[in-house]
Amino acid sequence: MEHFVYAVLLVLAISAGFWIWRKQGLAVARLSRERDAIEVEERRMFDFLHGLGEKLQDDPSPANMHRYIVEGVADVVGADAGVLYVLDGETNRLVPTFQSAQTSPVLPVPDEILSNPNRGEAESQYRSYIRLSSLLPGQSFVGRVMREGGLFHVPDLIRHEDFSGGSPDSRFLEGIRLLAIPLVYARRAVGVLIVTRKGGDPFTRNDEEVFGSIAEQSAFALGSAIAHADAAEKRRFERELTQASEIQRVLLPRQAPELIDYEVAAEYKAARHVSGDYYDYVRVDEDRFGIAIGDVCGKGIAASLIMAMCRSNLRSRAPENLSPASVLHSVNHSIFPDIREDMFVSLLYLILERGSNEVTMARAGHEPPILFRKETGQCEIIETPGLAAGIDEGPVFKRSVKDYRFRMEAGDILLLYTDGVIECENADGDEFGVERLSRLVEEHHGKTSQDLVNRITEEVKLFSGGAPQSDDITLIAIEKR
């Protein structure tokens, strides 16, 4: 009996030893598999990061970067699908810029898709729904990731509070494991990266760490790609602005007309590449010459296009037309249908006649010209009524814009200008003003017309204290010989 007990104890001891050995062996094998998996994952991570650097050098375009990030990160952590959202700086909305070939269910399934019994059609509709849905940073699960920050690990998506309400569709949500993280560049969230795995083993702690690390590097690459694209777009826009500026300068007169009875000079300085100011010289007939000046309410490309339209219309209506008001009526009628509601154009057009002291002028909301009388040595302001072009299509404009005639004697000077001259401000916020402009004409009336406009331009610059020019400046001096 005693031998039997010893035998049983020996068997139990051997069995326990075998069980312990077996358990340790399994643990060692499991640890070995985990170590191998980690090594494979880390090797994939380094390959991904190396490829990411090459992408930045070879093709830093955002579209290429978006695809590489989603597919590369999904491969590293063993996910089978993913989506990248990028924050649009203009709309402040998260826009899906790339989703993988497999569907990554990152949004609740809409009811109209739930009701479709055809799985293929439903999945195609769901992918389109994800692709077309831009989100506010605080909207839905994706917005929560952006708002709250940090890494999100959802072991079972169908049980998550953002997806469990209503009638979740098991075709898309059941068994989905998810990792999500905001992409932060220069301390600013620029997007959200999400990868999903359907079925299989859960994401491990190592998966989370690797996902966080490569997401950080992806954010840097994405931010760099965005900065590179923005810089390229800025350079392209600046080139286009330069080209537009060159085209606009071609449209402006190269030199003043040589008239027997008048000396004419102009000065034009745009505040930006392109300008809303306009001036032109137009031959009306053998004995008459037209001079126009205008200012589009607004700046940039839109203003320059309106200016070009005014020039084209005025030049087509002016020849053989002895009524400046009639010409401005035609210009207004032509541009009114195409001008924005928040824009208008101030115009002044006059006709000089050879062998005559009489000047005919029409003013459509433009700054009233300054007329220096040599006989008195003083300036007067020619105030005539007139509505700006582009505000009213017909009757009101025609009633307000009429021809006005006045005389100029030898030595008299007529100064035309845009509001950029008189509205120029100094450091104290004081405007240059019409009175100061008139005094300059009185003080320097003995100079040539070109010297006079140059002097005024210099005084305006000195008055502003060298501050950047905020508005376009145009001056035209007309002296009666």
Q: Annotate 351-381 with three-state secondary structure.
A: EEECCCCEEEEEEEECCCCEEEECCCCEEEE
Among 120-134, 153-167, 186-200, which is the least confidently predicted range? 153-167
Is the model more confident about 230 or about 8? Answer: 230
On whether residue 55 sits in a domain, the answer given is: yes
If asked whether residues 289 and 227 sit together in one domain, one would say: no
If asked whether residues 199 and 125 sit together in one domain, one would say: yes
Closest CA to 130 of 113, 152, 155, 154: 113
Q: How many alpha carbons lie under 13 Å from residue 304 in its C-beta half-sphere?
A: 21
If asked whether residues 46 and 123 sit together in one domain, one would say: yes
383: pLDDT strictly greater than 80: yes
If asked whether residues 426 and 287 sit together in one domain, one would say: yes
If asked whether residues 178 and 292 sit together in one domain, one would say: no
- 181 confidence band (pLDDT: 50, 70, 90): very high
* DSSP helix, strand, coil percent of the chain (3-state; round to 5): 45, 25, 30
479: pLDDT strictly greater than 90: yes
Among 21-25, 43-47, 357-361, 403-407, which is the least confidently predicted range? 43-47
- The CA-based diameter of the chain, rounded to the nearest angstrom, is 150
What is the distance of C-alpha 306 from the center of its chain? 21
Read off the amino acid at residue 66: H
For position 63, which CATH number holds? 3.30.450.40
- 24 confidence band (pLDDT: 50, 70, 90): low
Is the model more confident about 348 or about 242? Answer: 348
Question: What integer pLDDT is reported at residue 8 of this predicted model?
Answer: 55
Q: How many helices (H) and strands (E) does the chain have?
A: 13, 15
Question: pLDDT exceeding 90 applies to what percent of the chain?
Answer: 51
Residue 453 and residue 440 in contact, taking contact as beta carbons nearer than 8 Å: no
Range of the domain at 203: 37-231
Question: What integer pLDDT is reported at residue 66 of this predicted model?
Answer: 87
Q: Which two tokens stand for residue 259?
A: 């008239």
How would you label 400-419 residue by residue, b for 16+ Cβ within 10 Å and e otherwise? bbbbbebebeeebbbbbbbb
On whether residue 244 sits in a domain, the answer given is: no
Question: What integer pLDDT is reported at residue 463 of this predicted model?
Answer: 94
If asked whether residues 366 and 461 sit together in one domain, one would say: yes
On whether residue 398 sits in a domain, the answer given is: yes
Question: What integer pLDDT is reported at residue 238 of this predicted model?
Answer: 74
If asked whether residues 173 and 290 sit together in one domain, one would say: no
Among 144-158, 301-315, 353-367, which is the least confidently predicted range? 301-315
Q: Which of 200, 231, 262 is the last residue of a domain?
A: 231
The mean pLDDT of 329-337, rounded to a whole number, is 93
Q: What is the pLDDT of residues 348-369, one digit of tens each?
A: 999 999 999 999 999 999 999 9
On whether residue 15 sits in a domain, the answer given is: no
For position 460, which CATH number holds? 3.60.40.10
- 94 confidence band (pLDDT: 50, 70, 90): very high
Question: What integer pLDDT is reported at residue 134 of this predicted model?
Answer: 92
Closest CA to 469 of 273, 253, 266, 238: 273
On whether residue 11 sits in a domain, the answer given is: no
If asked whether residues 64 and 167 sit together in one domain, one would say: yes
Provide the domain count of the chain. 2
If asked whether residues 370 and 402 sit together in one domain, one would say: yes
The mean pLDDT of 134-140, rounded to a whole number, is 86
The span from the CA of 456 to the CA of 215, in Å, is 60
Question: pLDDT exceeding 70 applies to what percent of the chain?
Answer: 83
On whether residue 247 sits in a domain, the answer given is: no
On whether residue 325 sits in a domain, the answer given is: yes
Residues 6+ apart with CB under 8 A from 18: none
Is the model more confident about 32 or about 390? Answer: 390
On whether residue 18 sits in a domain, the answer given is: no
If asked whether residues 192 and 260 sit together in one domain, one would say: no
If asked whether residues 223 and 267 sit together in one domain, one would say: no
The CA angle 146-152-155, to the nearest 5 degrees, is 145
Residues 6+ apart with CB under 8 A from 132: none
Among 141-145, 323-327, 357-361, 433-437, which is the least confidently predicted range? 141-145
What is the distance of C-alpha 317 from the center of its chain? 37
If asked whether residues 260 and 222 sit together in one domain, one would say: no
The span from the CA of 277 to the CA of 346, in Å, is 9
The mean pLDDT of 414-418, rounded to a whole number, is 97
Question: What integer pLDDT is reported at residue 458 of this predicted model?
Answer: 94
